[in-house]
Amino acid sequence: MGWGVSQMSREWLLRPVAATPEQLLPARKPEGTRPVLNGAGSFRAELDKRLQSQRQLAFSAHALDRLRIRNIRLTQDDIARIESAVNKVAAKGGRDSLVIYKEIAYVVSISNRTVITAVDMARMNDHVFTQIDSAVFA
């Protein structure tokens, strides 16, 4: 017979499938129904929750080191004020900003919402801030 397909295997390939197309395809959802994420809530609520988690202010290792060395303590209210200032800069299209709050200057990357460094008033003399495109008082 050679390398070709035998008569028996051709018949096997052409045998009808026992299942109907309706049984093989996934069931359709009725028109107008919305998927529910994680068992509760809407798409908009889930999107808002994820966007909120991305909006939280982060601190680079360098910034945390500067805060520790300079004995700068931040409360939740302080962080909220700085975040509010970052939101204002982001709304205006800023990318890297100088945020001044309570006599401390913070250089913040707006796009990834990260404080890069912090400088207190005692060390601000002769200090030059470069690579910023905006400044805001919080």
User: Tens place of pLDDT for every residue, the chain, 138 residues?
Assistant: 455 555 555 555 555 555 555 555 666 666 665 555 555 567 877 776 666 555 689 999 999 999 999 999 999 999 999 999 999 999 999 999 999 999 999 999 998 999 999 999 888 888 889 999 999 999
Residues 6+ apart with CB under 8 A from 78: 101, 102
Instruction: Give the 3-state secondary structure percentages of the chain, helix then strand then coil, rounded to 5.
Output: 40, 20, 40
User: Alpha-carbon distance 105 to 120, whole Å?
Assistant: 6
